[in-house]
Amino acid sequence: MTAERSDGPILRWLRTRSDRVSRKLTEEQCTLLAQKPPEASIAPRPETSAVILHHSATPDGSVPLFRVLHRAVFGWDDVGYHFVIGNGSFSPDGAVEEGRPREATGAHARGFNEKSLGICLVGDFSDSMPTPCQVSSLADLLSELLRIYGLGAEAILLHREVPGCVTECPGARFTRKYLESDILPPVR
């Protein structure tokens, strides 16, 4: 009689997010995939002219979990986003987690990865809204990134606004009006 393998917490989470998870994948492999890969394996981003906002479309998550999903299922070198803002599920509410190195090309918006930073808020904003802590952290992070890269608020795009991307991301309730009225500072 052979012992049946039981999935650990990372693998259980991963299997609830994708039906393309290999049956051969182990919890130990997931633990290794959750770690940040060597920076030398990631291509540098040649320019920064946009910041693109996403939602995870999941009720929970974190950089390590998304890193496993993106590496094990999609075959990417690292998590696609440069930053993930937690909702209190697997990281503190409003915590800004660093994903890909800031200088690296992302994997979050086809056709714009070479010129943009990607920020993902954990949650599904088709049905709900970001938490107040997420909104506060996003506002602070956007302000910092716009200052560092010398960009104006017009450089902030919702994923669905990126030319060539066909998606509802960051969810139907996360609108341009919401971004401008509730997150961005007023224009003077």
pLDDT tens column, 8-52: 999 999 999 999 999 999 999 999 999 999 877 788 999 999 999
Q: Give the bridge partners for 51, in sequence order.
A: 117, 156
Domain ranges of the chain: 47-183
pLDDT tens column, 139-169: 999 999 999 999 999 999 999 999 999 999 9
- Is residue 1 predicted with pLDDT exceeding 70? no
pLDDT of residue 7: 84
pLDDT of residue 128: 95
Percent of the chain with pLDDT over 90: 90
Give me the CATH code for the 47-183 domain, please.
3.40.80.10
pTM of this prediction? 0.93
pLDDT of residue 2: 45
